Amino acid sequence: MKKPYFLTIGHANPDLPLFVFLPGMDETGKELIQCQTSSLETVFDVRSFIIPADEMGSWNDLSQQVIALTQAELNRYPRSSVYLCGESFGGNIALKVVSQAPELFTHLILANSASSFHRVPWLDLGALLLPWTPRFLYELSSYLALPFLSQVHRLSPIAQKALLKAVQDAPKKTAEQRLELLRTFEMDTAKLAQITLPVLLISGRDDHLLPSVEEAQRLSQIFPNAQQITLPHSGHACLAEADTNLLAILRSTHFLP
């Protein structure tokens, strides 16, 4: 079985600050990652954390793998700045990672963190019922979920195709396991409250899947050095939208090295 790994889309550049991106998808969504990170590669040496579809590890397993991979990168090429960015499911991993190894990173970015999943009753119920859902209903529901995952009209044609493919290709057993992880997610707020590194909380006001604006507000009360930015027309998959440029957001919030 393949283990989670760091993917380099462009060319590695160890002279630049390291940017560790934890996307909200498994390996079936690799086509989407480039549209989320391509502009970042002009300023950062980007690594995307890829979770194979048959990886069934716990939150602790995933966070320890991120920590080990990041440490291996730093052992090869020490950096003065290391950014950790988690989107949706990846935001939950990022919260686990910084609570366990805050010393590895200089900045934390969370985009529509899925840490609010268990507070949405219909998602919580859906996670419990999915194992008993027939395969054809799962495939239909995956297609119908697109309007909840994104503001489809704000995606480029390439991103629309990539997101649809990622949703359709996700194995049912993988979805069951990921949803169960989200349903039972817990974070150590006492540890997070002691983390002083700069934190940027990005949320889409038109996120129809999760209460991301409210979650960003809640997280901003936990982290002592957090700032929040709300994207007024963005949905859950905000980083895949054509008009969302993460590098521009980092510049506007003075979050660059």
More confident residue, 129 or 214: 214
- In percent, the amount of the chain with pLDDT more than 90 equals 51
Q: How far apart are CA 189 and CA 112, in angstroms?
A: 18
Distances (CA, A) of 221 to 86, 140, 194, 211, 212: 18, 39, 12, 16, 14
Q: What is the pLDDT of residue 95?
A: 97
**Quick one: pLDDT at residue 163?**
60
Q: How far apart are CA 201 and CA 208, in angstroms?
A: 18
Residue 122: is its pLDDT beyond 80? Answer: no
**88 pLDDT higher than 60:** yes
Mean pLDDT confidence for 220-226 = 96
- This prediction has a pTM of 0.86
Cα–Cα distance, 115 to 19 (Å, whole number): 21
CB 211 within 8 A of CB 229: no
Model confidence at 119, in pLDDT bands (50, 70, 90)?
A: confident
pLDDT range class, residue 96, cuts 50, 70, 90: very high
Q: Are 190 and 176 in contact (CB under 8 A)?
A: no
Average pLDDT on 244-251 reads 92
Q: Which residues contact 20 (CB under 8 A, 6 or more apart)?
A: 6, 47, 49, 66, 70, 82, 83, 84, 85, 105
pLDDT at 28: 53
DSSP letter at 80? S
Whole-number Å distance between alpha carbons of 119 and 231: 22
Q: What share of the chain is helix, strand, coil (3-state, %, to 5)?
A: 50, 15, 35
Give the pLDDT confidence of 128-167 residue by residue, as tens digits.
434 434 343 334 344 445 444 555 555 566 655 666 666 6
Q: Which range scores top for mean pLDDT: 15-24, 36-45, 144-153?
A: 15-24
Does residue 81 or residue 12 have the better pLDDT? Answer: 81
Q: For residue 66, which of 22, 111, 34, 36 has the smallest C-alpha distance?
A: 22
Instruction: Give me the pLDDT at residue 142, please.
Output: 47
Closest CA to 83 of 66, 64, 61, 60: 66
What is the arithmetic mean of pLDDT over 12-16? 92
Whether the CB-CB separation of 22 and 49 falls below 8 Å is answered with yes
Decide if 5 contacts 69 (C-beta within 8 A): yes
Whole-number average pLDDT of the chain: 82
Average pLDDT score over residue span 9-19: 91
**DSSP label at 8?**
-
Q: What was the pLDDT predicted at 128?
A: 44
